[in-house]
């Protein structure tokens, strides 16, 4: 049976400010998805949250980019937005960029990561969800998981991973894509994905069988809307075990927090800190950025889980390191490299300030 795993998320109102998710929105999302399950449109679902983002994890048999599934998710976000508006939550409905749904949530605001698979005898998957960052945040971990033997020893000693993986990379500014065969083209790959504000790893495929191994959301909301409307706070699905890296290899890159864009006003760099779902409530300077991992075994489309993957003392050092990195960056205040380069910030006063002061600039 061909099974589709769809993760669709949106920020439709924060509680309090942009920090968390009100339980009434989750309850409304649950009710919408329960109805969709009862109607047979989806097989199973799990509703969760990461910071101020409402997350729908769903299984069905309709393939990726399916308009009925996307429309149902869109309507569920719309319905929860009504609740958010009643509670006067912050930025109610902010990620629903158009008034009417038109076939596919891609390009309309919600973030989406999907994959169609043939469910294996045992099918472990991890759904990563992040808040206060952007889609390029997955580049470094996906590279580590599927390309770096110092992270994934399976690339060296497991015969079914030894051929390596294919990386599909999207240029989010020019809407173009290219695929790299690794390990041979690793240096070429890194030229691009080392610049995650422009190039994002969209998907990874096994070179052993051609099967999809990972799929991420690559929307850049600020560009979709042509103005700042919120961060794209990305999601990513990763399959594990067998021809794919082990669950432990999939989680391992997050034990070494890296710096991503998206903290305060989408205009600052900060460490991506791995936390349990209950700790994904970014209140310090609206951050620092968080990542959660929901693990499932799939059983004929049933989502057996979640297991809260970062709820493990083994990630305590990573959390501490992340907090130390956050302190170090905060010390820079409005200076780079904490603040993003001028043309990357999601909020800017540069045009107004420049206009006001233009006549005072003299040649030197
Ligand atoms: C939003 C975020 C926040 C906001 C900030 C200002 O995801 O990261 O840092 O950018 O709180 O929000 P507004 O402009 O809504 O007052
Ligand atoms: Mg928000
Ligand atoms: Mg968010």
SS3 84: helix
Q: Which ligand is nearest to the CA of 50?
A: 3
216 contacts 202 by C-beta, under 8 angstroms: yes
- The helix (H) or strand (E) run that includes residue 113 is strand 111-118
Which of 84, 265, 284, 287 is the pocket-test mutation for ligand 1 (most atoms within 8 Å of CB)?
Answer: 265
86 is catalytic: no
- The helix (H) or strand (E) run that includes residue 353 is helix 350-357
From 64, 94, 118, give the residue that closes a domain: 118
In this structure, the answer to whether residues 126 and 49 fall within a common structural domain is no
In this structure, the answer to whether residues 261 and 347 fall within a common structural domain is yes
Q: How far is ligand 2, taken at its centre, from the CA of residue 44, in Å?
A: 27
CATH of the domain at 58: 3.30.70
Nearest CA owner, ligand 1 atom 15? 91
Q: Which ligand is nearest to the CA of 18?
A: 2
The model scores a pTM over 0.85: yes
Residue 224, in any domain of the structure: yes
* Per-residue pLDDT tens listing for the chain (364 residues): 899 999 999 999 999 999 999 999 999 999 999 999 999 999 999 999 999 999 999 999 999 999 999 999 999 999 999 999 999 999 999 888 777 777 778 767 899 999 999 999 999 999 999 999 998 999 999 999 999 999 999 999 999 999 999 999 999 888 899 999 999 999 999 999 999 988 999 999 999 999 999 999 987 655 666 555 556 899 999 999 999 999 999 999 999 999 999 999 999 999 999 999 999 999 999 999 999 999 999 999 999 999 999 999 999 999 999 999 999 999 999 999 999 998 888 788 888 899 999 999 999 9
18 touches ligand 1 (CB under 6 Å)? yes
In this structure, the answer to whether residues 217 and 249 fall within a common structural domain is yes
In this structure, the answer to whether residues 147 and 169 fall within a common structural domain is yes
Counted domains in the chain: 2
| Parent domain of 185 | 122-357
In this structure, the answer to whether residues 186 and 319 fall within a common structural domain is yes
In this structure, the answer to whether residues 252 and 290 fall within a common structural domain is yes
11 is catalytic: yes
From 118, 146, 176, give the residue that closes a domain: 118
Nearest CA owner, ligand 1 atom 14? 265
Sign of torsion over alpha carbons 140, 146, 149, 151: positive
């Amino acid at each position: 049976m061909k099974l589709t795993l769809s993760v669709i998320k949106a920020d439709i109102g924060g509680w309090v400010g942009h920090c968390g998710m009100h339980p009434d929105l989750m309850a409304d999302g649950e009710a919408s998805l329960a109805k969709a399950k009862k109607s047979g449109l989806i097989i199973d679902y799990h509703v969760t949250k990461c910071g101020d983002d409402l997350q729908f994890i769903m299984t069905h048999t309709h393939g990726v980019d399916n308009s009925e599934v996307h429309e149902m998710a869109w309507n569920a976000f719309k319905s929860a937005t009504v609740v958010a508006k009643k509670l006067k939550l912050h930025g109610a409905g902010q990620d629903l960029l158009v008034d009417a749904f038109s076939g596919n949530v891609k390009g309309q605001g919600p973030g989406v990561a999907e994959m169609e698979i043939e469910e294996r005898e045992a099918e472990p998957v991890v759904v990563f969800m992040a808040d206060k960052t952007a889609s390029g945040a997955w580049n470094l971990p996906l590279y580590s998981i599927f390309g770096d033997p110092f992270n994934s020893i399976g690339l060296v000693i497991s015969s079914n991973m030894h051929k390596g993986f294919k990386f599909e990379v999207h240029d989010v500014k020019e809407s173009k894509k290219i695929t790299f065969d690794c390990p041979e083209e690793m240096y070429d790959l890194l030229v691009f994905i080392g610049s995650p504000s422009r190039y994002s790893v969209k998907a990874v495929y096994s070179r052993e069988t051609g099967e999809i191994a990972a799929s991420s959301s690559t929307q850049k909301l600020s560009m979709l809307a042509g103005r700042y409307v919120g961060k794209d706070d990305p999601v990513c699905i990763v399959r594990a075990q067998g021809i794919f890296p082990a669950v432990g290899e999939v989680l391992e890159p997050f034990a070494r927090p890296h710096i991503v864009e998206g903290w305060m006003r989408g205009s600052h760099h900060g460490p991506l800190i791995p936390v349990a779902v209950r700790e994904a409530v970014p209140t310090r300077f609206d951050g620092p950025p968080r990542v959660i991992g929901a693990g499932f075994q799939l059983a004929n489309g049933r989502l057996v889980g979640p297991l809260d993957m970062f709820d493990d003392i083994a990630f305590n050092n990573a959390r501490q390191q992340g907090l130390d990195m956050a302190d170090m960056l905060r010390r820079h205040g409005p200076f780079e490299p904490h603040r993003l380069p001028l043309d990357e910030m999601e909020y800017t006063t540069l045009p107004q300030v420049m206009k006001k002061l233009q006549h005072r600039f003299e040649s030197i």
